[in-house]
Amino acid sequence: MVQEGRKIRVLIAKPGLDGHDRGAKVVARALRDAGFEVIYTGLRQTPEMIVEAAIQEDVDAIGLSLLSGAHMTIFPRVRRLMDEAGLDDVILFGGGIISEHDAKILKEKYGVAGVFGPGTLMQTIIEFLNEELRKRGKVPPADQAEAQPSETSPAQAEPEGRHDA
């Protein structure tokens, strides 16, 4: 179980030589806004750097963003390093330009819990992580928020201006 009061920690990484990180940053921000603590490693990370950061940061999940086509090399390498480091309770997920065929192999053969393509709604990724955390007996941010009494300050209650959503 996650220690009471400890946020769920998610590492978002951009492995390989791909220099396009907008998607990774969008996912990182969405997860942060949903209550996760997000560690973004930046561009051009090696699998070794990613797993070492995951160990040092004591993360609950690792998300990889791959647009370079190297997903069938990088995901298996990260999984192997995770297994060698005893990170079997850490969720591995990711996204990018990954065919359904490759996604199926990554899930079935290499233990990648979720693979998301371009256009995936951020809520879909958040719900996926919440469900995976529950399966592992961890308390996702969605459940932590429900367990806490709501203390909304007047400044947070309702913004001024237009109210016609």
How many C-beta atoms surround the C-beta of residue 65 within 10 A? 25
The yes-or-no verdict on residue 108 having pLDDT over 50 is yes
pLDDT grade for 104, boundaries at 50, 70 and 90:
very high
Question: What are the tens digits of pLDDT across the range 36-54?
Answer: 999 999 999 999 999 999 9
Tokens describing residue 122: 């951020």
pLDDT grade for 144, boundaries at 50, 70 and 90:
confident
Containing structural domain, residue 25: 9-143
The model carries a pTM of 0.85
- CA distance linking residue 15 with residue 44, whole number of Å: 5
Q: For residue 100, tell me if it sits in a domain.
A: yes
Q: For residue 67, tell me if it sits in a domain.
A: yes
Q: For residue 157, tell me if it sits in a domain.
A: no
The yes-or-no verdict on residue 163 having pLDDT over 80 is no
Question: What are the tens digits of pLDDT across the range 111-125?
Answer: 999 999 999 999 999
Q: For residue 151, tell me if it sits in a domain.
A: no
Q: Is 14:44 a contact under the CB 8 Å cutoff?
A: yes
Q: For residue 153, tell me if it sits in a domain.
A: no
**Residue 44: Cβ-neighbour burial (10 angstroms; 0-12, 13-18, 19+):** middle
3-state secondary structure of 9: strand
Q: For residue 1, tell me if it sits in a domain.
A: no
pLDDT, average across residues 42-68: 96
Q: For residue 54, tell me if it sits in a domain.
A: yes
- CA distance linking residue 125 with residue 131, whole number of Å: 10
* CATH number where 119 lies: 3.40.50.280
The yes-or-no verdict on residue 58 having pLDDT over 60 is yes
Residue 156's pLDDT is: 38
In order of 81, 142, 162, the CA distances from 61 in angstroms are 14, 16, 38
In order of 74, 149, 150, 159, the CA distances from 156 in angstroms are 43, 15, 11, 7
Single-letter amino acid code for the residue at 140: P
Residue 19's pLDDT is: 85
- CA distance linking residue 104 with residue 146, whole number of Å: 34
Edge to edge, what strands does the sheet with 9-13 contain? 37-40, 9-13, 61-66, 91-96, 114-116
Question: What are the tens digits of pLDDT across the range 72-84?
Answer: 999 999 999 999 9
Q: For residue 107, tell me if it sits in a domain.
A: yes
Nearest Cα to Cα of residue 31 among 130, 120, 115: 130
Domain count, the chain: 1
